[in-house]
Amino acid sequence: MSLEVRNLTKSYGDKVVVDNLSFKMEKPGVYALLGTNGAGKTTSIRVMLGMLQYDSGEILWDGKPMKASERNIGYLAEERGLYPKYSLLDQLLYFARLKKVPKVEALKRIHYWADRLELNEYIFPPKKAKGKKSKSNQADQLSKGNQQKIQLMAALISDPEILVLDEPLSGLDPVNTDLFKTVIREEMNKDKYIIMSSHQMFTIEEFCTDLTILNRGKTVLSGNLDEIKKSYGRVNLFVKCDEDITEYVKETGVTVKEKLPSEYQLKVSGEEEAMEFLKGLIQRKITVVRFELREPSLHEIFVEKVGENHEEE
Amino acid sequence: MKKSEFRGAAKVFSFTLIQTLKNRAYLVFTALMVLFSALSMPLMHAIQNMGEESGVAKIENIRQILWYDETEALFGSSFTQMGLQFTKMLAEPAFSGVTFEEAELPYETVLSALKEDEAYAHTVIARLFSGELGLTLEVVRPVAGAVTEDEGDYLADKMTESIVAFKEEATGLTKSQQEVLKTQVSLLVQREDENGSLKAKEDTVISNAQYWIIYGLAFVVMLVSTIASSQVASSIVVDKSTRVVEYLLTSVRPMALVVGKTLAMLLASIGQMFVMIAILLTSNWLTGRISGEESFLQGILPEGIWSNITPLNLLVSAIMICLGFLFYAVLAAMCGAMASRIEQTQESLMLLTVSNCVGIYLAVMAANELQISGKGALVTFTMFFPLSSPYLMPGMLLTGSAAWGNALVSILLLLVVDALLFKFVATIYELLITHNGSPIKGKELLGIYKSLKKEHKKGEAGCTR
């Protein structure tokens, strides 16, 4: 199975919001769609989900045109949505039934996910003494984090083959962030095709193997994350010493990216220059606490790419 | 439109219907309507009888009735001379102790005495005379006396009954026959058609009771249609403002959403209306049975009105009403989708409100025309105009003032307009439902429709979902 988007273009009137987007997921995994606000990520996702028509291009599942309504797709939208006054159980059952999950199976899955995400007391609230249900089984009685968990349940309740997560971790506390990450990892292990959009670059680096960076609808970078990083080379040098090396750094003429009280982040041309720098430190008998040469982070690549594009415009 | 566009509509329908029926506001409103329907008939019956009962209790303040019969000029001898007596009235328990005598003093003398003389505090003047309006019975009570207005009214009613009974006896004509004599002569011009049958130009003026039935039914249909339409619109705005719609659209097409929601809301509102009518009729029947008198509705509706309320007429009227509801509900769904937030709902419903107002005003004006001058151009237009026909035609059909053929043409026109509106909404709904931001203006809809038609053509070339 493969999921492929080929030359997808979508415009509103004269404004092109997605311009020739192409990517392919050859195998299950996590694909990242990155971009600034208004870059076209959510529109691309909506087109893939069949909410919007598109001007040109193709969306293929296993090489054939994909009809979103005929595929089992789970979606966690960026802007969370639940009926505030309906019971959570009713809503989840409704969402499951729309995804063609039989009622008994849906109830089983709701129980499973309620346990897994610690939502039992909200979905199945204990009855009050007089036999009336407490009000906490409505969405408007839940915290933002718990509402997000209910949304994740709604996205996963049909056990989808394609999972689209738009900013899945935004607004979560550290405990719930870890819980969400664990669930996403579990889904990855179930061989799901996951498309993730996020502004949190560390999260993307943690989960994604491939990515596309969009800026104002245009693709500015696309490919395998490791290969992209390799193409940049190991040019980021982190040095931490016991003594002040300001003078030595000036002598060598290496570019300083950031200076912390006892640590330097430097930009070198490659491994050779880094080794020369290290040799100099040793010759001066300076104790080196940390010496790390690595590829640029996704954050740096993103800023560089999107920045370049802004400058070009 | 493909069948797949409607996949999932049944699930949307059942969920929306169940949630609406569980909704507290819906339950409270239904309970209030049920209570109102159940209590209205006994209340109206009690109000209707209140005057008579209170009159009986207070007639004791009248001690003397002075009678002036000035009808002599009409027939050469007065009614009293011809045998008009109030024996039956005076024999009633309420009149015990009341003296009835023909006045000897001139009318003006007694009238001024009635104003000033305390001796006349319990005296009432009753005068029968002929004027421009025909026979008039005048009952005058003392200004500062103890006789109340209710007592005066009660006395006037009782004396009128005696006078009517005398007229029937004297002329040998019943009350209704006398009524017919008083009515205007209608014109009926007939011509012979090619088969030798007579074709008449009908007198299409409706009675006051028929007018109120048409008016009342139009009002009830408008009320239910407005409630149902606003519920459809707000339900769609809730989906959009809470962003639930984005999740729903991963499973169902926009058309399945609009169809499921609209039908569910309509069913809930129609159910409410049926419950209300059923309880109203039951309450009316029970009130009549318990009181052993004519029920309130029997009292106010003209005789023979039920002859037009046949199962077939009811069915055709129900179809018309449902098609009308559907028209306004689809319009409401479109208007609801034009808003993104709850606070924009009123603004986006402008188109629906204007259409509804045009429909009901036309229906009311047409009912007025029917009552004043019969079927004219306005009535004919309103009967077939889709915005107004669901309000006017059922009432006309059920009161026998519209022919079957007219109703069928109205239904056909409504069907065509419903289908066209549905096609229009189906084209633009997808864009509206995913639109966020400022509400879309009514005048922008046509532009959106045209551009989306172009996109759909592209879609047929491969860019579909």
Judge whether A56 lies within some domain: yes
Higher pLDDT, A281 or B459: A281
CATH number of residue A137's parent domain:
3.40.50.300
Question: Across residues A150-169, what is the average pLDDT?
Answer: 93
Tokens of B373: 């001058």
Contacts of A98 in chain B (CB under 8 A): 8, 11-12, 248, 251-252
- Decide: helix, strand or coil at residue B310: coil
Q: How confident is the model at residue B440 (pLDDT cuts 50, 70, 90)?
A: confident
Residues in A lying within 8 Å of B, measured between beta carbons: 13, 46, 49-58, 65, 67-69, 73-75, 77, 79-86, 90, 94-95, 97-99, 151, 154
Residue entry with tokens 């421009």: B132
Interchain proximity A81–B456, CB inside 8 Å: no
The Cα A166–Cα A198 span in angstroms is 6
Q: Parallel, antiparallel, or unpaired for β B64-70 and B123-131?
A: parallel
Tokens of B265: 């809301």
Based on the fold, state whether residues A172 and A246 are members of the same structural domain.
no
Residue A255 β-bridge partners: A267
Beta strands in chain A (DSSP E): 3-12, 15-25, 29-35, 56-61, 64-65, 73-76, 162-166, 193-197, 210-215, 218-224, 236-241, 255-260, 263-267, 288-294
Question: Across residues B257-284, what is the average pLDDT?
Answer: 89
Contacts of B23 in chain A (CB under 8 A): 85
Question: Across residues A41-54, what is the average pLDDT?
Answer: 88
The answer to whether residue B465 neighbours chain A at the CB level (below 8 Å) is yes
Least confident of A154-163, A169-178, B101-110, B438-447: B438-447
Question: Across residues B32-39, what is the average pLDDT?
Answer: 92
Give the distance, in angstroms, between the CA of residue A84 and the centroid of all CA atoms in the same chain: 27
- A305: exposed, middle or buried (Cβ count in 10 Å: 0-12, 13-18, 19+): middle
Based on the fold, state whether residues A252 and A104 are members of the same structural domain.
no
Q: Which of A57, A85, A98 sits opposite B251 (nearest CB)?
A: A98
Domain that holds residue A266: 234-294
Non-local (6+) Cβ contacts of A104 within 8 A are none
Q: How confident is the model at residue B189 (pLDDT cuts 50, 70, 90)?
A: low
Based on the fold, state whether residues A54 and A154 are members of the same structural domain.
yes
Contacts of B253 in chain A (CB under 8 A): 69
Based on the fold, state whether residues A258 and A197 are members of the same structural domain.
no
Q: How confident is the model at residue B463 (pLDDT cuts 50, 70, 90)?
A: very low
The answer to whether residue B246 neighbours chain A at the CB level (below 8 Å) is yes
Interchain proximity A81–B246, CB inside 8 Å: yes
Interchain proximity A95–B243, CB inside 8 Å: no
Based on the fold, state whether residues A251 and A204 are members of the same structural domain.
no
Judge whether A309 lies within some domain: no
**Best CA proximity match to A13, nearest among B425, B446, B461, B452:** B452
Based on the fold, state whether residues A208 and A276 are members of the same structural domain.
no
DSSP state of A28: S
The answer to whether residue B454 neighbours chain A at the CB level (below 8 Å) is no
Q: Which of A69, A82, A98 sits opposite B4 (nearest CB)?
A: A69
Residue B198 β-bridge partners: B192
Interchain proximity A79–B246, CB inside 8 Å: yes
Contacts of B247 in chain A (CB under 8 A): 75, 77, 81, 95, 151, 154
Q: Give the pLDDT confidence of A125-134 residue by residue, as tens digits.
A: 887 666 565 5
Question: Across residues A22-29, what is the average pLDDT?
Answer: 92
Question: Across residues B332-349, what is the average pLDDT?
Answer: 83
| pLDDT for residue B79 is more than 90 | no
Judge whether A310 lies within some domain: no
Selected residue of A6, A10, A64, A85 to mutate for chain B interface (largest B Cβ count, 10 A): A85
Which residues 398-437 of B have a C-beta within 8 angstroms of A?
430, 434
The count of C-alpha atoms lying within 13 angstroms of the C-alpha of B421, restricted to the half-sphere facing its C-beta, is: 24
Interchain proximity A69–B465, CB inside 8 Å: yes
Q: Which of A51, A57, A90 sits opposite B246 (nearest CB)?
A: A51
Question: Across residues A234-243, what is the average pLDDT?
Answer: 89
Judge whether A84 lies within some domain: yes
How many folded domains does chain A comprise?
A: 2
Q: Kindly indicate whether the ipTM for this predicted assembly is greater than 0.85, answering yes or no.
A: no
**Domain end among A180, A203, A229:** A229
Mean pLDDT computed over every residue of chain B: 83
Interchain proximity B243–A86, CB inside 8 Å: no
Based on the fold, state whether residues A58 and A106 are members of the same structural domain.
yes
Contacts of A80 in chain B (CB under 8 A): 243
- The torsion region of residue B243 among left (phi > 0), alpha (psi -120 to 50) and beta comes to left
Q: How confident is the model at residue B459 (pLDDT cuts 50, 70, 90)?
A: low
Q: Is residue B126 within 8 Å of B92, Cβ to Cβ?
A: no
Give the chain A residue whose CA is nearest to the CA of B254. Answer: A51
Interchain proximity A81–B244, CB inside 8 Å: yes
The answer to whether residue B257 neighbours chain A at the CB level (below 8 Å) is no
CB pairs under 8 A between A and B: 86
Q: Which of B4, B11, B434 sits opposite A97 (nearest CB)?
A: B11
| pLDDT for residue B216 is more than 70 | yes
Question: Across residues B135-154, what is the average pLDDT?
Answer: 85
Which pLDDT score, from 0 to 100, does residue B117 have?
82
Contacts of A67 in chain B (CB under 8 A): 464-465
Q: Is residue A60 within 8 Å of B224, Cβ to Cβ?
A: no
Interchain proximity A86–B247, CB inside 8 Å: no
The Cα A88–Cα A232 span in angstroms is 48
Interchain proximity B451–A13, CB inside 8 Å: yes
Based on the fold, state whether residues A223 and A275 are members of the same structural domain.
no
Contacts of B464 in chain A (CB under 8 A): 53, 67
Q: Is residue A119 within 8 Å of A150, Cβ to Cβ?
A: yes
Q: Which of A52, A56, A154 sits opposite B247 (nearest CB)?
A: A154
Judge whether A313 lies within some domain: no
| pLDDT for residue A286 is more than 60 | yes
Q: Is residue B200 within 8 Å of B371, Cβ to Cβ?
A: no
Judge whether A206 lies within some domain: yes
Contacts of A81 in chain B (CB under 8 A): 242-247
Max mean pLDDT range (B144-148, B238-242, B408-412): B408-412
* Residue B243, min C-alpha distance to chain A (Å): 4
Judge whether A186 lies within some domain: yes
Q: What are the strands of the beta sheet with A263-267, ordered from one edge?
A: A255-260, A263-267, A236-241, A288-294
Give the chain B residue whose CA is nearest to the CA of A68. Answer: B465
Cα-flanking dihedrals φ and ψ of residue B68, to 5°? -115, 115
Which residues 108-137 of B have a C-beta within 8 angstroms of A?
none
Which pLDDT score, from 0 to 100, does residue B55 have?
47
Taking the CB of residue B144, how many other CB atoms lie within 10 A of it?
10
Based on the fold, state whether residues A215 and A251 are members of the same structural domain.
no
**Best CA proximity match to A144, nearest among A115, A167, A116, A163:** A167
Which pLDDT score, from 0 to 100, does residue A290 have?
92
Question: Across residues B109-120, what is the average pLDDT?
Answer: 84
The Cα B154–Cα B152 span in angstroms is 5
Q: Write down all domains in chain B, each with its CATH number in brackets.
A: 54-172 (3.40.190), 205-460 (no CATH)
Based on the fold, state whether residues A52 and A183 are members of the same structural domain.
yes
Which pLDDT score, from 0 to 100, does residue B461 have?
46
Q: Which residues of B80-106 are buried (b: 16+ CB within 10 A; e: fewer)?
A: beeebebeebbeeebbeebebeebeee
Least confident of B34-38, B303-307, B396-400: B303-307
* Residue B422, min C-alpha distance to chain A (Å): 20
Selected residue of B2, B247, B427 to mutate for chain A interface (largest A Cβ count, 10 A): B247
Higher pLDDT, B10 or B174: B10
Question: Across residues B216-233, what is the average pLDDT?
Answer: 89
Which pLDDT score, from 0 to 100, does residue B462 have?
46
Based on the fold, state whether residues A215 and A252 are members of the same structural domain.
no
| pLDDT for residue B465 is more than 50 | no
Q: Which of A46, A54, A151 sits opposite B434 (nearest CB)?
A: A46
The Cα B454–Cα A49 span in angstroms is 21
Which pLDDT score, from 0 to 100, does residue A90 have?
94
* Residue B448 identity (one-letter amino acid): I
Based on the fold, state whether residues A155 and A281 are members of the same structural domain.
no
Judge whether A301 lies within some domain: no
CATH number of residue A252's parent domain:
3.30.70.1150
